[in-house]
Structure 1
């Protein structure tokens, strides 16, 4: 197990939860009730209306928010609220900070309150609820954006009860489930739209929260080849960055009397987008000349929602730039080293690339969703104003879609380059294997030539001997012949010696370092002895020369014996 594997194994918070898409939207008729779960008989036997009447929050004594979500959505029972993780947040009583930015009818972005921050603590819960109920806003306010930092139970329940927010928004946000849906559309009055989107961003190891376990900063990119392929976990790059998943969760209440945007920000051990960071970026967008002109032309608050999507676009583009640099580094390493283990890293990156394709598709669908569902409050507007707003919205959505298409093309190109690098690795390995096999084959052929002859000779020796014995014309076997057994032995020994002599003459080039003709190789015993003595004398001469050079330096190296075979002498011979 590598350092990164151990780091992930000991830190489950670094792994983004796998989304349960069946629980993503209100169109699912059984929220967070799986096939094996039991039904709540109390809900089925209840005589209360499925849709409770709206509460004015003045006579309920606060029960509407304290019992949320069941008070507004009775089909969300205690078991379902517990299963979807909302109950865990409801029990949380830590301080929660709300960062606020307002956009007036002139398109001017302003910061209300003190530094645009409202803090809800255990001590001021009742005062906070009264502030939510009063909902005091400037008369010329177009939209108010609220960014939630460290979501607590009271804030979740207060916002949910005040704006009648579908619990699917909270459950999808807490469980990182990509979704998009419209609810409660009312012509001329408004609607609710929700966009939950997982996107990619590049970050540095130093941006991770402090952790007592081994730091990811010490992790080398090579550890990637030993890590489990988990597309929900951070992807380390050779650039020193990590590609992590981030989450954009926005719920917008479009209303003719003033719209509200609620942005949830997860609290994980990951460098996700913080509430105060996105709050500042949205405020900075209000200084853009391009967007200011658009806000002055159209009063549709949906354009503010597009700025949130542009934040995801920026993050995607930065991440793909870092991934491109990492792939270039991998290509260089493969060309220089031809390491087979590099393919493991390539497989990991390709697995993440496939996951990125899914994320980009969700991004595309989110933009198309905004373009598909225009603001219902414009049903009462003039035809010219509706057309102008529609054209502007389509233009800006098409700009985002063009950026998504560019990101997808870049992803496909990088995937092809990864495949090309993998083919290069396999080709290099195959070439190396072919060279090794060629050398092994040559050695085997060289060594087997003598072995084959020996095996063939040995296999025929017994049969040849038996045939020779019974076919000998010697008087010990056939009395009417002149030959004797000693005569046969002398003839057989002579033929055997001659055969071995000739075979050795053919094979002697393997133990003699010179290239002799066949007639010279017939003298192989003499050449072999001369080679042995020649090597001894040559070694002695070299030693004498070293000693002489260490002394006066006037003694020249002795010449090699004239009988020592020399390639130079052979080359100079006619």
Structure 2
């Protein structure tokens, strides 16, 4: 495998299940931002149902001070009910038993990277806890990437490194957060960054037989006007769910970076949490290999040689989210190109529905990129307190601060570029939507024109039929008269023409009376006056009374 192939982030499903059993990743839970950081004084509490609990002081209860007592052993304000709501414990939290995979990579004092190691921790293996208690060799920073984190592993790591429970609750509940705590000026602190970002994967149900460079994809998409959409019929406007792109078979899904950095002058530690494989997120093994690959970069090796600040390792991890964003927007760009060509060639309303779905996701991506920008700014504005120690060389400190500022600004510049790309794609999408509606309006105008032409033709035909009917009216009238059963025409009958005329006049007058009475607006009624049915039924009397009064009204003389 060459370097280019090794750095592609369009990952295969991690579970290894065959294509027939593959399922779309589920939607992530909506983040509860009020529980993102320890600055909130009521962690994972319902202020309505827990009112009495807030009003009464907590009663002292015995707490297990060993690692199984986490988080109460270090953070007594976290009650069992709060840990259950935060998914640290309970049926929705990490499993009590199982095998956790932990991948380790160390950055040594000279800036070089050690060979990677992997550990498997089964259930509540005490050997892992004992290994963490051993004296750590001299190093700059140790990074631990955890897959399938069980509750015992969570409690061991939380107790060993004094991790604020908010790191685990934010990670388990996909809540973007960034905060700093346990600050010891001139010595150490803890910083946490939980970040959601967009990554693209290839749907195995529509995977092409061989990889194709992106530069060769666009011409092929234009030659596929009859591509059947994938998952479009089942999609709704839900920005927390994956977005399926029907043209290429790619899926844009939400991924998670959950990093806790313990900065210490002796040896720092990075903890990286990774969700379960069902979410199709980046695995601990994958991110661990990418961090290991940073050691092959000449540019970053120079940075590690000039500064021993462990924050640079965290900054390198944040670059992974930037790469993933760039690939996702590139795939989305190709999909919008395909949709433009489809809208021009057809007026399929299914495309309009998909356009609205993509536009909603693009609006959501704006907030995610904003969180990304804030996270990098947070790293820039949160310097390592150990760098300010009096024993630290001032020149080296200044060099490290300058490097940190430069690299953070480089990453912020890339995030700004991603945001501009998102805005451009949103504008193009709106243009495609306008084109789709214009195409539909043009087709509707053509249909209306054809309908008008058909109406004119039908009107001419009806006029001809009317003319033919008028020709036969005299003959029909004569036939009706001579067919009347009256004495003058058929001797021996009782009816006469006088009877016919009387009956016709009475029925005609009665019909006119009822029709006018049923009409609320009629020349025979008073204009602008609301009248009930019984009042309207007396319209002949009222009408002739008004006419009589009008005739008797004196005509004003002309003053001239």
Q: TM-score, normalised by structure 2?
A: 0.72
Give, in angstroms, the shift of residue 461 of structure 1: 11
Which of 200, 223, 231 pairs up with 2:239?
Answer: 231
Matches of 2:55 and 2:300 in 1, distance apart? 49
Which of 424, 428, 432 pairs up with 1:413?
424
User: Contact 1:144 / 1:261 at 8 angstroms: preserved in 2?
Assistant: yes
Secondary structure of residue in 2 paired with 1:390: helix
1:77-123, CA deviations, whole angstroms, 9 ceiling, x for partnerless residues? 01111111100346512111211100012100003xxx511222237
Is contact 1:190–1:376 with CA below 8 Å preserved after alignment?
Answer: yes
1:19 maps to which residue?
A: 31
| Residue 75 of structure 1 pairs with residue 83 of structure 2 | no
Q: Distance in 1 between matches of 2:96 and 2:195?
A: 25
Alignment match of 1:190 (pick from 157, 172, 188): 188
Name the residue aligned to 1:166: 164
Whole-angstrom distance in 1 between the partners of 2:364 and 2:58 = 44
Shift of 1:231: 1.3
Partner SS state of residue 183, structure 2:
strand
Q: Give 1:432's match in structure 2, choosing from 443, 456, 476.
A: 443
Q: Which residue of 2 aligns with 1:116?
A: 117
Shift of 1:225: 4.8
Q: What SS does the corresponding residue of 2:345 show, helix, strand or coil?
A: helix
In structure 1, stretches of 5+ residues that fail to align are 1-9, 53-59, 209-218, 467-574
2:501 aligned partner? none
1:386 deviation in Å?
A: 2.6
**2:253 matched to which residue of 1?**
244
Find 1:258's aligned residue among 257, 267, 288: 267
* 1:225–1:344 Cα contact (<8 Å) kept: no
Contact kept in structure 2, 1:224 and 1:348, CA below 8 Å:
no
Note if contact 2:230-2:244 (Cα within 8 Å) is conserved in structure 1. Answer: no
SS in 2 for 1:101: strand
1:91 to 1:43, Cα distance in 2 relative to 1, 3 A: farther
Secondary structure of 1:16's aligned partner = coil
Partner residue, 2:520: none
Q: Give the conservation status (yes or no) of the 8 Å contact 2:25–2:280.
A: no
1:209-238 C-alpha deviation (Å, 9 max, x unpaired): xxxxxxxxxx95254155212111111111
Distance 2:234 2:164 in 1: 43
Matches within 5 A, 1:208-219: none
Among candidates 32, 38, 42, match of residue 44 of structure 2? 32
- Structure-1 separation of matches of 2:471 and 2:434: 52
Find the aligned partners of 1:302 and 1:456 in 2 and give their Cα distance. Answer: 95
Tell me what 1:106 maps to: 110
Residue 205 (structure 1) shift? 2.1
Against the structure 1 CA distance between its residues 207 and 165, is the aligned structure 2 distance closer, same or farther, given a 3 Å change threshold? Answer: farther
In structure 1, what is the Cα distance between the partners aligned to 2:421 and 2:387?
Answer: 38
Bigger-Rg structure (1/2): 1
| Partner secondary structure for residue 296 of structure 2 | coil
Q: 48, 63, 66: which one pairs with 1:64?
A: 66
**Per-residue displacement from partner, 1:284-306 (whole Å, max 9, x unpaired)?**
10121100101110111100000
Q: Gaps (5+ residues) in structure 2?
A: 1-21, 207-226, 478-560
User: Number of paired residues?
Assistant: 431
Q: Report matched runs for 1:335-484 at 5 Å.
A: 335-380=344-389, 381-449=392-460, 451=462
Work out the CA distance in 2 between the residues paired with 1:221 and 1:372: 46
Q: 2:332 aligns with which of 292, 312, 323?
A: 323
Residue by residue over 1:161-200, the C-alpha shift from the partner in whole angstroms, topping out at 9 and shown as x without a partner, is 1111100000000011111000111111110000000011
Does structure 2 retain, via aligned residues, the 8 Å contact 1:90–1:157? no
1:287 aligns with 2:296: yes
Offset of 1:75 from its aligned partner?
0.9
Equivalent residue for 1:180, pick from 157, 178, 186: 178
Shift of 1:462: 9.8
User: 2:229 matched to 1:221?
Assistant: yes
Deviation (angstroms), 1:309: 0.3
- Distance, in Å, in 2 between the alignment partners of 1:456 and 1:137 is 108
Range 19-28 or range 223-232, more displaced: 223-232
Quote the residue 1:524 is aligned against. none
Secondary structure of the corresponding residue to residue 229 of structure 1:
coil
Q: Hey, what's the Cα distance between the residues in 2 that align with 1:90 and 1:352?
A: 30
CA gap of 1:43–1:174, structure 2 versus 1, over 3 A, is farther
Counterparts in 2 of 1:298-317, with a 5 A limit? 298-317=307-326
Which residue number in structure 2 is paired with residue 509 of structure 1? none
Q: Give, in angstroms, the shift of residue 265 of structure 1.
A: 0.5
Give the Cα separation in 2 of the matches to 1:242 and 1:385: 45
RMSD: 2.9
Taking the TM superposition and a 5 Å limit, the aligned residue runs for 1:126-141 are 126-134=126-134, 136-139=135-138, 141=139
How far apart, CA to CA, are the structure 1 residues paired with 2:266 and 2:352? Answer: 59
Task: Give the whole-Å Cα distance in 2 for the aligned partners of 1:321 and 1:194.
Answer: 30
Name the CA distance, whole Å, in 2 between partners of 1:390 and 1:91.
Answer: 42
Paired residues of 1:19 and 1:178 also in contact (CA < 8 A)? yes
Give yes or no for contact 1:143–1:259 (8 Å, CA) kept in 2. Answer: yes
In the alignment, the residues of structure 2 paired with residue 339 and residue 166 of structure 1 have an alpha-carbon distance, to the nearest angstrom, of 53
CA distance in 1, matches of 2:288, 2:370: 26
Tell me, yes or no, if the aligned pair for 1:207 and 1:271 is still in contact at 8 Å. Answer: no
Deviation of 1:38 (Å):
1.8
Work out the CA distance in 1 between the residues paired with 2:322 and 2:244.
21
